[in-house]
C-alpha cells in the first residue's frame, strides 16, 4: 500500500512539473526522493518513546534549529530549514513553526528542542570543553543531532572537524553505518539508500545510546538538495 501511495504522489508532482529535458526530469524525480527521505528523518525524530525527552521543552510546534559555531561555515545552505518546514507541514500532520532558529553548542536554549541540525563545508576549530559537555548532556537526555557534510570527503574539511568533535563527545563510541532495517529508513517512506544532493556514501552513519540513535550523520549534502525547489 505504501508503495502505491508514493507512486501516486510522484504522479501528482509530475502533472505540475514544466516540460523539461530528460536529464532535467530525472533530476526533479531525484530531488522528490530527497524530499521524502528528509521528511522521514524529522518524522522519525518526532516519534520518540515517552521517556526519551526528559530534558526537552514542551513546545507544541516543531522548530528547525541549527547549530551555529565560530570560524567555519555553519550555514552553507540558508534555505534548508524553511524548505523543510514547508514540506513537513504539507506532507505530515506535524505542526511546525515558520522560520528557523540558530543555537550555539553551549547554549542552554538547546534543551528546549528535541532536534538540532548541524552542517558545514569546511574545517572549524575545536569546541570549548563547556560546549562539548552541553552537547553530550543534550544527546544523553533526549536530543537528536542530524549532521550534514556538504562536500562529503572523508577526513577533509568539515568531516575532519566533526569526526574530532564526535570523538570528544563520546570517546568510547564510534560512528557506525545505520542498517536498512533502522526505523529511519521505513517510518513514513521505504528507502534503500541515504539520498542527498550528492551521493558520496549510500548509507547514513550514527551513534546509538541504548535503543535510540542520538547522532545521525549524512555525507551527501541533504541541505543542498533541500535548498533547491523540488
Q: Which of 108-117, 131-140, 188-197, 208-217 has the lowest mean pLDDT?
A: 188-197
Element (H, E) at 102: strand 96-103
Mean pLDDT of 77-92: 83
Give this prediction's pTM: 0.77
CATH number of the structural domain 2-226: 3.40.50.12140
Distance, CA of 107 to chain centre: 20
DSSP letters, 120-170, are ESS--PPPPHHHHHHHHHHHHTT-EEEEEESS--TTSTHHHHHHHHHHHH-
Q: Which residues of 19-34 are buried (b: 16+ CB within 10 A; e: fewer)?
A: eeeeeeeeebebbbbb
User: Per-residue pLDDT tens for 169-207?
Assistant: 999 999 999 877 777 766 655 566 666 777 767 778 999
Q: What is the pLDDT of residue 92?
A: 77
User: Per-residue pLDDT tens for 32-47?
Assistant: 555 555 566 666 666 5
Mean of all residue pLDDT scores within the chain: 76
Mean pLDDT of 126-153: 94
CA-CA distance, 111 to 108, in Å (whole number)? 6
User: Per-residue pLDDT tens for 86-129?
Assistant: 878 887 777 888 888 999 999 999 999 999 999 999 999 999 99
Amino acid at each position: 500500500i505504501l508503495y502505491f501511495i508514493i507512486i501516486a504522489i510522484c504522479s501528482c508532482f509530475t502533472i505540475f512539473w514544466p516540460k523539461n529535458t530528460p536529464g532535467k526530469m530525472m533530476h526533479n524525480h531525484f530531488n522528490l526522493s530527497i524530499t521524502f527521505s528528509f521528511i522521514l528523518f524529522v518524522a522519525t525524530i518526532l516519534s520518540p518513546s515517552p521517556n526519551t525527552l526528559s530534558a526537552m521543552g514542551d513546545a507544541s510546534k516543531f522548530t528547525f534549529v541549527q547549530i551555529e559555531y565560530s570560524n567555519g561555515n555553519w550555514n552553507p545552505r540558508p534555505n534548508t530549514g524553511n524548505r523543510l518546514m514547508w514540506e513537513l507541514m504539507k506532507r505530515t500532520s506535524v505542526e511546525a513553526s515558520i522560520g528557523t532558529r540558530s543555537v550555539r553548542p553551549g547554549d542552554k536554549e538547546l534543551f528546549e528542542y528535541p532536534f538540532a541540525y548541524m552542517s558545514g563545508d569546511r574545517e572549524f576549530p575545536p569546541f570549548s570543553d563547556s560546549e562539548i559537555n552541553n552537547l553530550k548532556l543534550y544527546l544523553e537526555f533526549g536530543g537528536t543531532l542530524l549532521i550534514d557534510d556538504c562536500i562529503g570527503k572523508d577526513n577533509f574539511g568539515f568531516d575532519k572537524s566533526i569526526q574530532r568533535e564526535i570523538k570528544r563527545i563520546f570517546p568510547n563510541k564510534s560512528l557506525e553505518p545505520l542498517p536498512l532495517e533502522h526505523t529511519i529508513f521505513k517510518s513514513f517512506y521505504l528507502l534503500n539508500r541515504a539520498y542527498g544532493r550528492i551521493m558520496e556514501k549510500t548509507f547514513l552513519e550514527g551513534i546509538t545510546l541504548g535503543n535510540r540513535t542520538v547522532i545521525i550523520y549524512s555525507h551527501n549534502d541533504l541541505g543542498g538538495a533541500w535548498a533547491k525547489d523540488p
